[in-house]
């Protein structure tokens, strides 16, 4: 007897885990009143028996947005991460849902010290005692994907060691596979899902989450942010210890300080909270508008005020990056918002976004004017710029306009920044700070030195393409002479007309067959020769043909 094929067994086990996990997800959706989602995409076989009855468990009276948050919490790590990501996407989710999903928390108990120790030793390839002089058994922080331990290196430096939770990668991979497959399937059943390109968004989310599980990505992002801040005496980011960093373990400089929402501790330390709010706002706006590389999750838990009077940016795994063109578009949009220019906001949304067939531009323009008018000539209170940007993204969602993924990330980052600043100083004018920084950026972009540099870059690009052009034309002509050029035509919007034409052709063919049957029955019935040779059989056959022709003809008319 031959031994079992281990590869086949592994595939079978993976498929079994996949089906079991899908059933778990279906069960959670059912308990919170979303079982019909699985039915709509043709996967009701994974729902519990009598699932419609199970939905009536007292959840019906709860707000749908709250039920969605509770369901995601029940589904585990990947679903919580998905909910947190969707909380920033007011361009694809109603505003009330997005705000509810931002309440999702990653409160999970830490793994045992033995499990963390095994992970560190496996990744770094040496015993823990060899790598560190000290390594605290109790973590200083614990999240859904990892936990952080304080340690001391052999050189005596205090560090923070971030350790990935054992087994989390396999669990997340299974969930992401299910998510992407469900998104693709949903596109076949819903025009709206297809118009929003949800499957592509699911793939992007899967890629980003897998990158988050690769701690080398976070290490590079932290180092980049640290380099960008090195000349600014007001801020810093942790140093990365590359010799003690791998894919599942990352070692940072341990930075102690006061959280920016611990107002009592800040006051006791004699910190000028107004000046701190000004500095933090300027730092974030500089990252976004000047560097184009910014901390995308600057909530107080990721910020510390250090003993040497610096703002430290921690947990740099979630960063945003954009080029000059994207920054220019966002600044134009922001300036239109700050100037209460409804037409300017409308124009920038059209330039930046992708319009769908369902978009009514007149209604969009009217809604933008109503929103700008609602907020008046000046912000009525602190904390409304971020709210206004989010409402603009909400209008974009209602009118089926798809924005680049960086824009929800930007608006969310600005909203969080404004919240931190207003917490430090209730009278903080974030609008004025944003307006000042954006105008300074524009002034720098249109300075003579900058314009000369741009012209020089354009000339270099033109030279590079002009040198390539003769060879490219020669290649195209050579392919044409050899018959190697293929013209591909992809008709757009012809699916429904072609389907109608196909149905019409089928009906015409069917009508001809029905007519032939009726005509044949008439010929048989009136033929004297057949009546003599076949006797009563011919009459019976003609009657059968007539009945068949009438039935088929009636069905054709009905259809």
Positions marked catalytic: 297
Rounded CA-CA distance 398/407 in Å is: 16
User: For 224-236, b where at least 16 C-beta lie within 10 A, e where not — what string?
Assistant: bbbebbeeeeebb
Asked if residue 369 lies in contact with residue 342, where contact means CB atoms within 8 angstroms, the answer is yes
Rounded CA-CA distance 461/453 in Å is: 12
Indicate the burial class of 360 (C-beta count within 10 angstroms; 0-12, 13-18, 19 or more): exposed
Q: Tokens representing 14?
A: 């993976």
Give the DSSP H/E element, type plus range, for residue 325: helix 324-338
Q: Tokens representing 203?
A: 């793939």
Indicate the burial class of 349 (C-beta count within 10 angstroms; 0-12, 13-18, 19 or more): buried
Cβ atoms within 10 A of the Cβ of 324, count? 10
Residues 6 or more apart whose Cβ sits within 8 Å of residue 406: 320, 321, 322, 326
Q: Tokens representing 414?
A: 């600005």
Give the DSSP H/E element, type plus range, for residue 338: helix 324-338
The residues with which 152 forms a beta bridge, in sequence order, are: 134, 158
Is residue 163 left, alpha or beta, with left meaning phi > 0 and alpha meaning psi from -120 to 50?
A: beta
Q: What is the CA radius of gyration of the chain?
A: 32
Q: Tokens representing 61?
A: 């009276």
The residues with which 160 forms a beta bridge, in sequence order, are: 150, 252
Of 54, 1, 3, which Cα lies nearest the Cα of 31? 54
């Amino acid at each position: 007897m031959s031994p079992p094929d281990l590869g086949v067994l592994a595939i079978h086990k993976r498929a079994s885990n996949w089906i079991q996990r899908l059933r778990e997800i279906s069960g959670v959706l059912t308990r919170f009143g979303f079982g019909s989602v699985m039915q709509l995409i043709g996967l009701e076989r994974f729902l519990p028996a009598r699932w419609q009855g199970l939905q009536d468990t007292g959840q019906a009276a709860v707000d749908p947005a709250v039920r969605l948050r509770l369901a995601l919490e029940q589904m585990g790590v990947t679903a919580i991460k998905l909910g947190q990501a969707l909380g920033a996407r007011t361009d694809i989710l109603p505003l009330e849902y997005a705000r509810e999903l931002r309440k999702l928390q990653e409160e999970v108990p830490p793994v045992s010290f033995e499990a963390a120790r095994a992970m560190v030793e496996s990744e770094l390839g040496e015993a823990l005692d060899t790598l560190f002089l000290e390594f605290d058994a109790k973590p200083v922080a614990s999240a859904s994907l990892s936990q952080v331990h304080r340690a001391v290196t052999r050189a005596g430096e205090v560090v923070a060691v971030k350790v990935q939770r054992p087994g989390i990668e396999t669990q997340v991979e299974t969930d992401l596979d299910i998510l992407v497959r469900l998104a693709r399937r949903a596109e076949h059943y819903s025009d709206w899902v297809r118009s929003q390109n949800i499957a592509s968004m699911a793939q992007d989310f899967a890629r980003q989450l897998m990158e988050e599980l690769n701690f080398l990505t976070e290490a590079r992002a932290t180092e980049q942010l640290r380099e960008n801040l090195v000349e600014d005496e007001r801020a810093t980011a942790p140093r990365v210890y590359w010799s003690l960093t791998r894919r599942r373990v990352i070692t940072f400089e341990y930075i102690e300080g006061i959280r920016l929402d611990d107002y009592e501790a800040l006051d006791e330390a004699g910190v000028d909270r107004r000046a701190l709010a000004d500095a933090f706002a300027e730092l974030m706006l500089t990252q976004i508008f000047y560097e184009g590389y910014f901390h995308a999750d600057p909530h107080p838990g990721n910020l510390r005020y250090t003993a040497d009077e610096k703002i430290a940016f921690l947990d740099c795994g979630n960063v945003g990056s954009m080029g000059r063109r994207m920054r220019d578009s966002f600044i134009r949009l922001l300036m239109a918002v700050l100037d209460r220019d409804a037409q300017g906001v409308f124009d920038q949304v059209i330039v930046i976004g992708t319009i769908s067939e369902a978009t009514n531009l007149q209604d969009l323009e009217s809604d933008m004017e109503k929103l700008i008018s609602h907020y008046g000539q000046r912000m009525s209170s602190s904390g409304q710029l971020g709210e206004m940007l989010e409402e603009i993204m909400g209008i974009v969602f209602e009118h089926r306009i798809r924005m680049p993924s960086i824009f929800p990330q930007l608006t969310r980052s600005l909203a969080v920044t404004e919240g931190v600043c207003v917490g430090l100083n209730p009278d903080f004018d974030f609008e004025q700070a944003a307006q000042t920084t954006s105008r300074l950026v524009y002034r720098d972009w249109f300075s003579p030195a900058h314009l000369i540099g741009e012209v020089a870059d354009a000339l270099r690009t033109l030279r590079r393409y002009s040198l390539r052009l003769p060879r490219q034309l020669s290649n195209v002509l050579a392919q044409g002479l050899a018959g190697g050029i293929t013209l591909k035509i992809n008709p757009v919007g012809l699916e429904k007309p072609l389907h109608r034409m196909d149905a019409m052709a089928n009906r015409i063919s069917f009508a001809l067959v029905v007519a032939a049957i009726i005509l044949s029955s008439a010929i048989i019935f009136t033929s004297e020769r057949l009546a003599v040779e076949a006797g009563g059989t011919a009459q019976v056959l003609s009657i059968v043909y007539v009945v068949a022709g009438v039935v088929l003809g009636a069905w054709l008319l009905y259809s």
